[in-house]
Structure 1
Amino acid sequence: MSYAGQVTTPEAEQAQDETPEQAPQDGGARPEERLEKAVRAAEQALIEYEIAVETFRVEVENFSRLHHQKLGPMYARLDELDALIAEAVAARSGDPEDRRKAAEARARVLPMPGVDELFHGWMDGDGLLPEAAAMLTDQSVRPPQRVRPSDEARKLYRELVRKAHPDLAQDEQERERRDAFIARVNAAYGRGDEALLRELHEEWDAGPVPDERRPTPSEELYARLEWLAQRKELLSVVARELEESAIGAMLKLAPDDPDRLLDEIAEQLLAQVAEREAELEQLRGRVT
C-alpha cells in the first residue's frame, strides 16, 4: 500500500510501517492476543493517517478560498484583457480566423454577476454587514478573519481525534456518540476555532470512559484487520486526489508559508496585467 507523502505525520509513517506481520510478537501469547495487538496497531495507523488526510484537506480548502479571494479578480482582469486584445486584432485584420479567436476569448470571460451575487457577503436579512457599512462610511474595514487553523488548534484537533475516533468504539451506540462528537470537532477545526476545540477537549474528558477492550474471536479480528486495510485504501485515494488537484499542487510548493506563495503569484499576475494593458494600448493606437 502506498501513501502520499504530503499528508503523513511522523506518527502515521511509523504506524503505516507496522503491519500485522511486523507487529510486536510474543511467543508465549495466545493467537488471539497477537491478533488483538495487530488490530490495535492497525487502528492507530488508520487514525493517524485519517488525521493527516483531514488536516491536509482543511489546508487545501482554506488555501482555495484565500486563492479565490485574492487572485480571482486578477484572473478575471487577464481574461478580459485577452478578449479585448483578440477583438482589437480582429478589428485591425478583418480576418475570419481572428474573429473566431476573438469570439472564443470573449466566451471565456465570466459574465457580469447578477444582483444577488453582487450583494453576496455584503448584505443579509438584517441589512448591510459591518464590513459593508464601514466601507460606505469611509471607516476602516475589518480585515477578513484568518481561517487557517493555528498550531495550537492543530494540536488540540489531533488530541481530540486520537481520543474520540469512532473506530475505537466497542459497540454501535458508542460509535454513534463518537461520530456525532467528531463531526463537531471537524467543524470547529475547519473554522480554526481554537476556543471551541478547548471546550470540546474538556467535554470529552468529562464524558463517560469507554469500556476496556474485551477479547474477541479470531474470525472477528481478521475481519477487523481487513476492514481497516480497506478504509486506509479509500483514504489513500482521497489523499492522492487532494495532492494532484491544482490547489493541492500549489500548496505543496510552500506548505509552511502559503501566504507568501499567494503574494508571489499576485505579483506575477500584476506583471501580466501590465503587459496585456500595454499591448492593448498599442493595438488601439494602431487601429486609430
Structure 2
Amino acid sequence: MNANSPAQASDEPGTERLEKAVRAAETALIEYEIAVETFRVEVENFSRLHHQRLGPVYARLDELDARIAEAIAARTGDPEDIRRADEKRGAVLPMPKVEELFFGWIDSTGMLPEAQAMLNEQPVSPPSRVRPGEEARRAYRDLVRKAHPDLAQDEAERERREAFLVRVNKAYADGDAPALAALAEEWEAGPLPGPVAELLRGEELYARLEWLAQRKEMLARTAAELEESAIGAMLKLAPDDPDALLEEIAEQLLGQVAERERELARLSEQEQGEQA
C-alpha cells in the first residue's frame, strides 16, 4: 500500500485532531474575514456619504471663516490678520485651470469621490446608508460562509468562488438585498464542490494551519488600518447606529454655521457703527 494513501494517513498519530483543528481554524478565519469586510464597507460608505451630505456644509463653513477673517483684516489692517485672511480665502478658491480641465473629476479639495469610485471599479452612485440593512447583512454572511474560496479543493473551484464573491461583495456594498437573494439562488443551483479527501497527511495539515495563521495576520493588519483611519475612529464612536452619527455630525456642523453667521453679522454691525 502506498504510504501516502488516505487509509495510511488515517493511521497517522494525531491526524484526526489536526483535521479538526484545520476545520476550526478555517471557520474562524472566514468569520473574521466577514467581520473585516463588513467594517470595510461601512468605512467606505460612511466616507462617501459624509462627503455627499456634509460637503456643502463644510464649504459654507470655509466661506464664512474666510469672510470673518477678511472683515477682521479690513478693520485692523494688521499684516498678520491680512495674511490669515488671504490664507482662509485661498482655501476656498478653486485651483486655477485645473477644475476646467477635469470638470466633474477634481475640485479644490482634490479628486471627487465619484471619480475615485469609478477608478477603483466601485459603485458610482452613493450608498443609501452607512450600514446595509439586516436582511442584506444576513444574506451576505450566509453566502460568504458557503462560497468562501478557502473551502475549495482545487484551483479551478477556488477561482470560481473568488469570482462569485466579487459579485457578492459588490451587492453587499450597495446594500442590495434582492441581488444577494438572487446570488444565493444561483449558488444553490450551481455546481457542487468536488469530493473531499477523507483525511490529509499530517504535513499538509500543518502547512494548511500555517497558511491560515498568515492569512489571519494579514487580516489583522487590515482591520487595524481601518480602525486607525479617521473614518474608522469616527465609526467606533457609534458602533450600533453609524447612520445616526452622520445626522449628529450634521447637526453640530449646522450649529457651527449659525455661530459663524452670527459672528460675521456682529463684525458687520461694528463696521457700520464705526463708519456712522
TM-score band by shorter chain is 0.7 to 0.9
Question: Is the Cα–Cα contact under 8 Å of residues 168 and 183 in structure 2 kept in the other structure?
Answer: yes
Aligned match of 2:211: 227
Give the conservation status (yes or no) of the 8 Å contact 1:60–1:242. Answer: yes
CA contact (8 A) 2:45 2:127 kept: no
Q: Is the 8 A contact 1:42 1:228 kept in 2?
A: yes
Deviation digits for residues 147-174 of structure 1 (CA, Å, limit 9, x no counterpart): 4421111111111100010011111111
Q: Is the 8 A contact 2:12 2:202 kept in 1?
A: no
Aligned to 1:134: none
Distance 1:110 1:267, change over 3 A: farther
* CA offsets 1:97-117 (integer angstroms, 9 cap, x no match): 112211222222262865933
Q: Where in structure 2 are the equivalents of 1:37-56 lying within 5 Å?
A: 37-56=20-39
Structure 2 counterpart SS, 1:116: coil
The correspondence for 2:258, drawn from 274, 282, 287, is 274
Select the residue among 28, 32, 49 that pairs with 1:66: 49
Report the counterpart of residue 76 of structure 1 in structure 2.
Answer: 59
1:122-162 Cα offsets, whole Å, 9 max, x none, are xxxxxxxxxxxxxxxxxxxxxx8724421111111111100
Q: 1:181 aligns with which of 145, 164, 167?
A: 164
Partner Cα separation in structure 2 for residue 108 and residue 232 of structure 1: 43
CA shift for structure 1 position 225:
1.0
Which of the numbers 55, 76, 87 marks the counterpart of 2:70? 87
Q: Secondary structure at the match of 1:253?
A: coil
**CA separation of 1:180 and 1:277: change in aligned 2, threshold 3 A:** same
2:225 paired with 1:241: yes
Measured in 1, the distance between the counterparts of 2:45 and 2:171 equals 14
Match 2:13 to one of 22, 30, 51: 30
Any conservation in 2 of the 1:76–1:110 contact (CA below 8 Å)? no
Distance 1:30 1:205, change over 3 A: farther
1:165 aligns with 2:177: no
Q: 5+ unaligned residues in a row in structure 1: which ranges?
A: 1-27, 122-143
Give percent identity, aligned residues only.
70
Which residue, out of 234, 241, 247, partners 1:257?
241
- Matched residue of 2:103: which SS? helix
Aligned to 1:116: 103
Provide Cα deviations, 1:40-86, integer angstroms capped at 9, x if missing partner: 11111110000011111111211222211221111111111111111
Q: CA deviation at 1:278?
A: 1.4
Q: Which residue of 1 aligns with 2:121?
A: none
Alignment-mate amino acid for residue 221 of structure 2: V
Is 1:154 aligned with 2:137?
A: yes
